[in-house]
Amino acid sequence: MALPVLPISAAGAPRRGTTKRMDTFMTLLIDTVIPRTLDALEAELSASKPDQPVEAWVFEDAAARRAAEARLAAASVTARIRSAYKPLLCFFLEEVDRAALRQVTIRYPRHPQAHDRRFLAEAYPLAALLDGVALSFEAGEVALTYEVTLTAKDGTTATHSVFAPNRLRDGVLANCGWQRLLGEDGAALTTEFEALFAAAVETVRAQGWSDRIGAFDRLTVTVEMPGADQEIGWGDEVISFREAMHEDLFFTLREMLAPDAGLDRGARPGQIVPDIRATHGAARLRITGTMFAEADETASATIALETADRPLGMAQIRAALGALGGQRFSTLSREGREVAGLYKPGPGPAVLITAGQHANETSGVVGGLRAAQALMQDPESHFAYVPVENVDGYELHQRLIVQNPRHMHHAARFSALGDDLSPAMAEPDDERRARYEGIARSGAKLHINLHGYPAHEWTRPLSGYLPRGFEAWTMPKGFFLIVVHQKGWGEIAQALLAAVSARLAEDPALVAFNALRMDAMLAHTADSSFGVMNGIPVYLSEAATYTTPLTVITEAPDETIFGAAFVMQQTTQMRAALACVEAYLRLR
Ligand SMILES: [Zn+2]
């Protein structure tokens, strides 16, 4: 459907019950094509035919880089084209015979405009790939080069300097392209990956919206770019330029439009949607601002809950909730979707179970439904339940995973207003009201809040690499638990953590899964913020801000997974919720 191009009106106040407006206003902010850097480089070198070997670093997958090298060789040009992103990992994947190694020593560089262990993090998950090899990392000099010493099983030793091209962008050290003749310094090469990002940021900055929250309902940043996703061959890890572009664009634009967003999750810049698509040709950037119209819904097949290996469609969730019975309650979201819940009275101490506060975390939705089904069969149980809190985000996630099923899509974490469904929201005025209704009806003092996080590394290569404000969430450490309690509830919080972690540890596959990921993460970070109980990472803290005196938050590495991995996480979510209810009944 062709859409009329009209100015964006000021909006942003919660809108309820306006699901059937037929008009959709749209403003086109930019539509531009940017040549593919690898093609331009190939054309330039084929024409100039340098008589020395050339080295270049671009944001392209290994297959595309090897193919370009081969075509250049046929044109009598010797070139080595490397990855500008995660260069040390790619060095080991592409240029080292890992099976022949006995010992590896790596001095990783540091830089005053980067996190002290940024280059150690960027090498992730090398430690896991070098299983059985004696590996040591050492902090090195202020530089842009990893110094690598390889000792083979036959005793021979080789040293390599692995260049990591970076430049300062907005005051932070960020990955960039590079070009040089072998043995020379060369210079930064502005790639299409960086040009797309810069053009998007400049286009939005030029609107002068930072002091005018709510200038649009939905800001869609459509990017077409080269670079196929590459499996690393360990866990769920993948090198994905498109996923990195989504994450960096989303958070950079959010930070720009809502400057306090890092500290104040309540900032409401509107819904920002990076829609990143693959192409083999020139890159393209298109940004539109639109107003919400009909609250549509992505169609999805109904699947069995016990073996659900992917996120459920909203129609199935609605039907499953309806089949549970109990007393229904509901409210409307910002876009006008129903947020439904149920209350089941009973003699036991009441609990509230919710999922989908962050809608790109989908295993808790399945696990929550399965737990609610089990609890409905128990005449003693007493609970309120909201299967999906952030229904607008959930619909966005359903749309985004059609294009890129295995990307983390943090745009869908937030509400349609662009904020987190924050636990500190005192007077909810939209979808948050479902949670408060559940607490009011049941009198629950315990909130079981089912969450997830990325199952593979989360990065922002164009803004300092580590995601600002989320540095502790960049690498998976398995299924973990967070318990937050108000004053006077510390003892029961501690006992609950012990009981739930012990129950989860009855699954040896989960404990083994967690151990592998914790080992890989700890080799590449210095995170000591969490404890471990029964093989489960745990956090325990006191805070007055949460709605209930006691909150148990599950964290499943689920944002990017399908198949057996998803079945494992959603089943663990169910087990955690039921273990929590069982232990609470005993401890109260
Ligand atoms: Zn979450």
CA of residue 109 to ligand 1 center, whole Å: 33
d(CA 430, CA 419) in angstroms, rounded, equals 12
Q: What is the pLDDT of residue 213?
A: 66
Predicted confidence band of residue 422 (pLDDT cuts 50, 70, 90):
confident
Q: Tell me the C-alpha distance between 354 and 538, whole Å.
A: 20
pLDDT for res 61: 98
Quote the CA–CA distance of 397 and 210 in Å, as a whole number.
26
The confidence band for 529, taking pLDDT boundaries of 50, 70 and 90, is confident
- What's phi and psi for 332, nearest 5 deg? -115, 145
Q: Compute, in angstroms, the gap from residue 453 CA to the centroid of ligand 1.
A: 6
**pLDDT tens, residue by residue, 191-206:** 999 999 999 999 999 9
Q: How high is the pLDDT of residue 545?
A: 78
Distance 387 CA to ligand 1 centre (A): 14
pLDDT for residue 4? 29
Cα dist from 60 to 178, 240, 278, 484, whole Å: 13, 9, 12, 43
480: CA distance to ligand 1 center in Å?
12
Q: What average pLDDT does the segment 222-247 reach?
A: 97
Per-residue pLDDT at 15 exceeds 50:
no
- Of the two residues 206 and 427, the one the predictor is more confident about is 206
Other CB atoms within 10 Å distance of the CB of residue 211? 8
Nearest Cα neighbor of 396 from 382, 385, 409, 406 is 409
Question: 423 pLDDT band (50/70/90 cuts)?
Answer: low
Specify the DSSP class assigned to residue 99.
G
- Is the pLDDT at 16 greater than 80? The verdict is no
Q: What is the pLDDT of residue 382?
A: 98
Other residues' Cβ atoms within 10 Å of the Cβ of residue 468? 15
Label residue 26 by pLDDT band (50, 70, 90): confident
Per-residue model confidence (pLDDT) at position 18: 39
Most confident range, picked from 255-269, 321-335, 410-424: 321-335
Cα 320 to ligand 1 centre (Å): 23
DSSP 118-137: HHHHHTTTHHHHTTTSEEEE
Token pair in block for residue 546:
């949460």
pLDDT of residue 21: 43
- Identify the CA nearest to 329 among candidates 304, 361, 363, 354: 354
Residue 261's pLDDT is what? 60
CA of 355 to the centre of ligand 1 (A): 9
Model pLDDT, residue 175:
98
- Cis bond upstream, residue 125 (ω within 30): yes
Strands (E), 66-144: 79-83, 101-110, 134-142
User: How far is ligand 1, taken at its centre, from the CA of residue 421, in Å?
Assistant: 10
Mean pLDDT across the stretch 538-546? 91
The residue with tokens 């009973």 is: 346
- Cα(359) to centroid of ligand 1, in Å? 8
- Report how far ligand 1's centroid is from the alpha carbon of 452 (Å): 5
What Cα–Cα distance (Å) separates residue 395 from each residue in 296, 297, 311, 390? 8, 6, 11, 9
Whole-number Å distance, alpha carbon 234 to ligand 1 midpoint, is: 24
Residue 10 scores a pLDDT above 60: no
Q: What pLDDT band is residue 264 in, cutting at 50, 70 and 90?
A: low
The pLDDT of residue 309:
98
The pLDDT of residue 40 is 98
Q: Which residues are paired to 557 by β-bridges?
A: 453
Calculate how far, in angstroms, residue 553's C-alpha sits from the geometric centre of ligand 1: 9
Does position 12 have pLDDT exceeding 60, yes or no?
A: no
pLDDT tens-digit readout, 150-188: 999 999 999 999 999 999 998 999 999 999 999 999 999
Q: Centre a 10 Å sphere on the Cβ of residue 97 and count the other Cβ atoms it contains.
A: 9
Q: Can you give the pTM of this predicted structure? A: 0.94
Q: What average pLDDT does the chain have?
A: 92
Of the chain, the percentage scoring pLDDT greater than 90 comes to 85
What pLDDT is recorded for position 178?
98
Give the per-residue pLDDT at 14: 37
Give me the mean pLDDT over the 54-74 stretch: 98
Confidence label for 544 from pLDDT (cuts 50, 70 and 90): confident
Question: Which residue is it, tokens 């959010």?
Answer: 254
Q: In what order do the strands lie in the sheet with 177-181?
A: 79-83, 54-58, 177-181, 187-189
pLDDT score at 421? 85
Q: What is the pLDDT of residue 23?
A: 43
Query: Cα of 454 to ligand 1 centre, how many Å?
Result: 10
pLDDT tens column, 119-134: 999 999 999 999 999 9
Q: How far is the CA of 133 from the centre of ligand 1 (A)?
A: 36
